[in-house]
Amino acid sequence: MKRFILSALLCALPFAAQAQSAAEFFKNRKMTLITSASPGGGYDQYARLLARHLPKYIPGSPTMIVQNMPGAEGIKAANYLYASAPRDGSVIGGLQRNTGLVKFYYPDNAGVQFDARKFIWLGSTQQEIGFFLLRNATGVKGLEGLREKEVTISSTARTSPSSIYGRILNELAGTKIRAIEGYEGSQAALMAVERGEVDGHISGGTSAAFRARYRPWEKAGEVSVVMQLGMERDKEYPDVPTALEIAPNPTARSILEIAFVEQVMGRPFVLPPDVPKDRADLLRHAFDEAMKDPALLEDAARMSAEIDPVSGARINELLDKVYTAPADLTQRVRDLVQ
């Protein structure tokens, strides 16, 4: 009889755990936010901002600590979250914006041990929009001007957004953009524009530091934003077209939409796969609410961190669309990126 009772109790334990509500699970829970960035950088900044404000929207008053796990351009942290991190909702990951597409662009990369579509994306604190800055001294204006005259842009490497977007525009829109590669970083690339070493620069994003650097030149009439690289127009430049808007045909637009998915992902946060749905739903809702929190917005403003959130559901939808793209379109995008 005792054995029967003990057996019944043991069998009931999993069901009792499943019956535990999400609110009960998070009560006084110690949560971890693992960021793929090193301390002090932009991704780390957003991770710590979220860790300060997200817990207040999670029932049960949990606490949250940030753990840095840099390596392999974010892949180390993504691999850990996918394969080793607890799948109970106690661990959140902060990834880099290109992590979701790395397996799409480089399907044979053995170091990528995760399926980005199986992460539960909480959302992004910011979506990026790249700017095409051009010196006014070139006399080039608009798409037609870029098709008629070669312009040089500064870039760090062939694999940087500057070079990739330049190649895509040349291939799809007939522009004549030549990347001068080898600059150490975005600030060095912008300095090349300031010194007149190159005609312009195509950015992968528009951080506060980036905007602060070029705005004096813009006010002085030395440079202009001639195109935007993203899914939508930046609020500061409502009259400057995006590359999507000048795409010459539906195929070109589809290629650009794939290339700009990582722009939308901006500063993304995820849960490992298989987190119980009620806990995942609770955390997604908490993330959305935190993005509207006046205290978080004030905190972000002090840090010059832009908040332009994207929902986790939208990120999952975009990734599903990318990874199910027709084979011929997929290969063309890979050829352009590599």
CATH fit for domain 22-127+266-337, picks 3.30.2390.10, 3.40.190.10, 3.40.190.150, 3.30.1360.10: 3.40.190.150
Kindly list the strands in the beta sheet with 30-35, ordered across the sheet, starting from the edge strand earlier in the chain. 63-68, 30-35, 91-94, 268-271, 120-124, 310-311
On whether the CB atoms of residues 178 and 210 are closer than 8 A, the answer is no
| pLDDT tens profile 267-312 | 999 999 999 999 999 999 999 999 999 999 999 999 888 899 999 9
Q: What angle do CA 93, 160, 204 make, to 5 degrees?
A: 70
**Which residues, in sequence order, are CB contacts of 106 under 8 Å at separation 6+?**
112, 338
Look at residue 337 in the predicted model and tell me its pLDDT. Answer: 83
Question: Which tops the pLDDT comparison, 2 or 221?
Answer: 221
Nearest-CA neighbor of 21 among 63, 62, 60, 65? 60
Q: 10 Å Cβ neighbour count for 334?
A: 14
Q: Does domain 130-252 have CATH number 3.40.630.70?
A: no
The answer to whether domain 22-127+266-337 and domain 130-252 are alike in fold is yes
HSE of 7 in the Cβ direction (CA atoms, 13 Å)? Answer: 4
* Paired tokens of 338: 């590599």
CA angle 55, 273, 278 (to 5 degrees): 50
Contact yes or no for 268/95 (Cβ under 8 A): yes
Helices (H), the chain: 2-19, 22-26, 42-53, 75-83, 102-105, 142-148, 161-173, 186-195, 208-219, 250-259, 261-265, 277-290, 294-302, 312-323, 327-337
Q: What residues does each domain of the chain span?
A: 22-127+266-337, 130-252
The stretch 57-70 carries a mean pLDDT of 95
Distance from C-alpha of 52 to C-alpha of 78, rounded to nearest angstrom: 22
Give the residue with greater pLDDT, 2 vs 113: 113
CB 261 within 8 A of CB 103: no
Give 212-269 pLDDT, tens digit per residue: 889 999 999 999 999 999 988 998 999 999 999 999 999 999 999 999 998 899 999 9
pLDDT at 302: 93
Report how far residue 89's alpha carbon sits from residue 94's, in angstroms, rounded to the nearest whole number: 14
Looking at residues 309-332, what average pLDDT do you find?
Answer: 94
Residue 32 φ/ψ, nearest 5 degrees: -125, 135
- Amino acid letter for position 193: V
Q: Is 331 exposed, middle or buried (0-12, 13-18, 19+ CB in 10 A)?
A: exposed
> For 65-112, what is each residue's pLDDT tens digit?
999 999 887 899 999 999 999 999 999 999 988 899 989 988 998 999
pLDDT digits (tens, 9 = 90+) for 157-191: 887 889 989 999 999 999 999 999 998 878 889 99
Residues 4-32: tens digit of each pLDDT? 444 444 444 443 444 478 889 999 999 99
CB atoms within 10 A of CB 173: 18
Cβ atoms 124, 309 nearer than 8 A: yes
Q: Residue 189 and residue 181: Cα distance in Å, rounded?
A: 9
Owner of token pair 């995942």: 280
* 64 has a pLDDT exceeding 90: yes
User: What does the block give as tokens for 272?
Assistant: 């490992």
Task: Encode pLDDT of 118-162 as tens digits.
Answer: 999 999 999 889 999 999 999 998 899 999 999 999 998 887 889
Q: What is the DSSP string of 21-86?
A: -HHHHHTT-EEEEEESSPTTSHHHHHHHHHHHHGGGGSTT--EEEEEE---GGGHHHHHHHHHTS-
Determine the pLDDT at residue 210. 84
pLDDT at position 184, please?
Answer: 83
